[in-house]
Amino acid sequence: MRDLSIIIATLSLFFSLQHVAICAQIYTPPDNIALDCGSSTSGNSAVPGGRKWTGDKDSKVALIEESSSKSVFATALSQSSSILRVPYLTARISISQFTYVFPVTAGQKFIRLHFYPAQYQGFDRSKNFFSVKVGSYSLLNNFSASLTAQYLGEA
């Protein structure tokens, strides 16, 4: 999903530059949360690029499970050493809908979703379809990271 990430990152940069040009000051997001799904890292794990990821067991982010079949933490069965372990090695997997609740201020937000399709114990990578909604907005609908990567000819 590198291409989509780059597109989203490029969009973010574009809007940031617009903001700089108009306001002549660097945009500092009031809320800056990088969530590492499926990770139990309670502190921050710095990765190249400077972003500090926090595992989704962190108390600032609430998780609401909407079914009695709970989500599980998973670690990819294998991963190329060229792929960053954070945030790509771990995942939260569920067959039911669940919700993350982020404490944020009012106003516009940039949302960036990172994907790396991998094989997890007991889950068929080719059947990983999911949707992402924020409030009434649908960000992804029946999305497959592995099909998208396959289509793009990327890992």
User: What x/- string results for residues 94 through 133 when contact with ligand NAG is judged by CB under 6 A?
Assistant: -----------------------------------x----
Residue closer to ligand NAG by CB (options 71, 144) is 144
Whether the CB-CB separation of 132 and 139 falls below 8 Å is answered with yes
Residue closer to ligand NAG by CB (options 15, 129) is 129
Is residue 68 near ligand NAG by the rule CB under 6 A? no
Q: How far apart are CA 60 and CA 107, in angstroms?
A: 19
Q: How far is the CB of 142 from ligand NAG (least distance, A)?
A: 4
Q: How far is the CB of 64 from ligand NAG (least distance, A)?
A: 21
Q: Name which position in 59, 81, 136, 142 contacts ligand NAG (CB under 6 A).
A: 142
Residue closer to ligand NAG by CB (options 39, 128) is 128
Q: How far is the CB of 78 from ligand NAG (least distance, A)?
A: 25
Q: Where are the beta strands (DSSP E) in 4-136?
A: 35-36, 44-46, 52-55, 62-65, 72-75, 90-93, 98-101, 130-134
Q: How far apart are CA 36 and CA 28, in angstroms?
A: 21
Residue closer to ligand NAG by CB (options 34, 93) is 93
Cross-strand partners of 54: 35, 44
Q: How far apart are CA 140 and CA 132, in angstroms?
A: 5
Amino acid letter, residue 57: K
DSSP letter (8 states) at residue 36: E
Residue closer to ligand NAG by CB (options 4, 34) is 4
Binding site for ligand NAG (CB under 6 A): 129, 142
